[in-house]
Structure 1
Amino acid sequence: MSSTVGELLDSLPAAADQEQRRGWVVACAQALGLGGIAVALGQELVWFSDETSARLEDLQFVLGQGPGKFVHDEAEVRALPDLGRSLAQQWPQFAAEAEELGIAALFVWPVRIGAVQVGTMTGYRRTVGPLTGQQLAQGQLVADALAQYVLSHWPAGTDVGNGPGHVGAVDLHRAEVHHATGVLSERLGVSLAEALDRLRARAYASGLSLSDTAHTVIRQELP
């Protein structure tokens, strides 16, 4: 029997490793009736259930398009139960890429600490249709719990060097992106903002994830 959201909120251990954290967020997605979820704080992807949810976050970051980029304009969750109708005109590039991934519906919850929004939690479905009112409300509980966990385990100082999977830590999945941005900035003699734009453009043109593109830049496989 699958766990309820309430049971899951009480079951995440403080010292969870990467595999345990991934399993927990997969169970949360299933309990909410979603195919997967991902959490981003600012420009950092900090938690995701599967490669599809990570890719969706990546696309929003690379393209500067998508519902998660504008959820701060909304008081509550942004529900897009029929993605084709909702995004085709507003964000055509993102809509096309999401369709290629087989995404039919998206739901974006604000991640808040107190009254301050610090990020988003994005969930997807492969079938068109709304979530129930209970699922939407429980999704916010999951987003709030993740925010508290992430901030309690945010790496500081040398902790960043522990790498993905370190027990009790939060993995910063875009650490290589920031590193590669600095590399490109110095190599090309451009600002960090322009270097990040160029990195995004390379990722989109190549079809690689942003992290994979950053990795090749760091290894100097790209000029």
Structure 2
Amino acid sequence: MTIKQGDREQAICEAFVSLADTAVGTCDVNELMWRLTKHCIQLLPVDAGEFLLPGQHLELFPPGFEDGPCLASFSTGRPITVANLLTVAQRWPRFAARADAEGFRSAHAVPLRLRDEIIGAVALLSTRIGLLPVSDLRLCQALADATAICLVQQREIRHHTILAGQLQTALDSRVIIEQAKGILAERGRLDMTEAFDRMRAHARNTNQRLNKIAHGVVDGTVPADDLLEAATKSP
């Protein structure tokens, strides 16, 4: 269905807002790519879309994805346009055969890119022969670029979340170790360094992690006497 010019402009604005919303929300990668392909199909004279995100284990195409415009766009970092898929039957035989069987006659693909980083690619398929107008192809690339920004932003959020969790775990472990050192120092009349050496020696002798021993000392499941009697080993 053709969208009126005023409605199309509004739809374009809403598409970019929809994609931008995923940059800080809880939307997963699959949902983000579904939004991208949905907006492209709504705004452009195409009938279907598929995407390639290496390493994401997500596809809108068969698992044995073949060479084709999507992979070519990802590999080159440039838009790929095919006005008539019959002309690429020798270049991409599997893709051309699949597309023909599904009734598609032309294809356009653009990379998902952020500056010099190519994250993936999206391909748009049409049942009609011919090329998209240049303005439509530019819109497709703009939507893909916006999606790439969101993907990188989500990746950074996940990275920082994991890092924050690791730092918090390390901090919690350090606090427990300091508490255990204090208990041993008090009971054995040791300085803090010697108390730590005794705890580390016990961890090595019993092949256990230091923080596990520390937890045991604090909660009483590891008798302090066992550590105080352990022979101190050189680091």
Would you say same fold, with TM above 0.5? yes
**In structure 2, how many angstroms separate the alpha carbons of the residues matched to 1:127 and 1:142?**
22
Q: Which moved more, 1:18-27 or 1:135-144?
A: 18-27
Q: Indicate conservation of the 8 Å contact 2:52/2:71, yes or no.
A: no
Aligned to 1:8: 15
Say which one has the larger Rg: 2
Aligned to 2:144: 143
Report Cα offsets for 1:25-44 as digits up to 9, x if no partner.
41332202221323322243
- Which AA in structure 1 matches 2:47? G
**In structure 2, how many angstroms separate the alpha carbons of the residues matched to 1:68 and 1:114?**
19
**Between the two proteins, what is the percent identity of the paired residues?**
20
* TM-score between the two structures when normalised by the length of structure 2: 0.53
The alpha-carbon deviation at position 71 of structure 1 amounts to: 2.2
Quick one: structure 1 residues 6 and 74, their matched pair in 2 at CA, closer, same or farther if it must change by over 3 Å?
farther
Structure number with the higher helix fraction is: 2
| Paired residues for 1:13-32 under 5 Å | 13-14=21-22, 15=25, 17=27, 21=32, 22=34, 25-32=37-44
* TM-score between the two structures when normalised by the length of structure 1: 0.55
Taking CA–CA contacts closer than 8 Å with sequence separation of 6 or more, which of the two structures ends up with the larger relative contact order? 1
C-alpha RMSD over aligned residues: 3.1
Q: Indicate conservation of the 8 Å contact 2:36/2:147, yes or no.
A: no
Does 2:110 match 1:106? no
SS in 2 for 1:70: helix
Q: Which moved more, 1:106-115 or 1:69-78?
A: 69-78
The match for 2:68 among 66, 69, 81 is 66
Q: Indicate conservation of the 8 Å contact 2:82/2:107, yes or no.
A: yes
- Which AA in structure 1 matches 2:45? G
Q: Indicate conservation of the 8 Å contact 1:5/1:32, yes or no.
A: no
Q: Indicate conservation of the 8 Å contact 2:50/2:124, yes or no.
A: yes
Unaligned runs of 5+ residues in structure 1 are: 48-53, 160-223
SS in 2 for 1:108: strand
Unaligned runs of 5+ residues in structure 2 are: 1-6, 162-235
The match for 1:39 among 51, 57, 64 is 51
The match for 2:81 among 79, 82, 104 is 79
